[in-house]
Structure 1
């Protein structure tokens, strides 16, 4: 795994983290949803962001985006979400501070799913491509 590719993946992840955190705050603070539901909505925004940025920036995929590719990507990211979501829910339920401020739980949850997501992203978006830019 080329280090520059991983660096780009981390940059995209950072951008997606802000999308994720912003949507989590919006859904929980403004719309009053419970964090577990807000987190599912925020993940959808984050995964769409990462799909687009990873295919154009991290893995430099030049093919036209397809619904099939997006569906494969979302399915693959769902494995990372399972880890991410489990850590998130555990933290908000077991830690009073994280329960009161769910964005705090988002940090370790995001890190927990990052490696899994990189491996799946690379397989789906980076297969057959010159991965070193």
Structure 2
């Protein structure tokens, strides 16, 4: 139980940092570079995913060393692509149909994807 609490704490720190990266890149790409929010969201999600992968493998999860590192990376990428799909769907529905400001929608999308990420990474990477 203590290991799970420690892991959740570390996941929260890595996830919070990844969120700040994601949120900042989204804002900069959209507001300063003039990229459409939907494309900016793909860029920001991808940048934060690279950080999240490195930090998760090194600090959060007890990665199954019997699996090859390339296999772990492929699993992580596949799960991240699914997470990106969830993120983009939420962004699209929130902005285009609910007419909510994209930066607010991003907070909700991130919360949902974070839960997905923790559960699936714990299942497939440990």
Q: TM-score range by the shorter chain?
A: 0.7 to 0.9
CA–CA distance in structure 2, aligned partners of residues 19 and 71 of structure 1: 22
TM-score w.r.t. length of structure 1: 0.79
Distance 1:86 1:60, change over 3 A: same
In the other structure, the counterpart of 1:20 is 22
CA–CA distance in structure 2, aligned partners of residues 103 and 72 of structure 1: 29
Question: Where does structure 1 lack aligned partners over 5 or more consecutive residues?
Answer: 128-133
1:108-127, aligned counterparts within 5 Å?
Answer: 108-125=108-125, 127=126
Aligned length: 122
CA RMSD of aligned residues (A): 2.2
Question: Where does structure 2 lack aligned partners over 5 or more consecutive residues?
Answer: none
* Cα displacement (A) at 1:17: 0.4
* Cα displacement (A) at 1:97: 4.5
Distance 1:97 1:86, change over 3 A: closer
User: Is the Cα contact below 8 Å between 2:18 and 2:52 reproduced in 1?
Assistant: yes
1:14-39 deviation line (CA, Å, top 9, x unaligned): 00001101110121112111100000
Distance 1:120 1:34, change over 3 A: same
CA–CA distance in structure 2, aligned partners of residues 95 and 115 of structure 1: 23
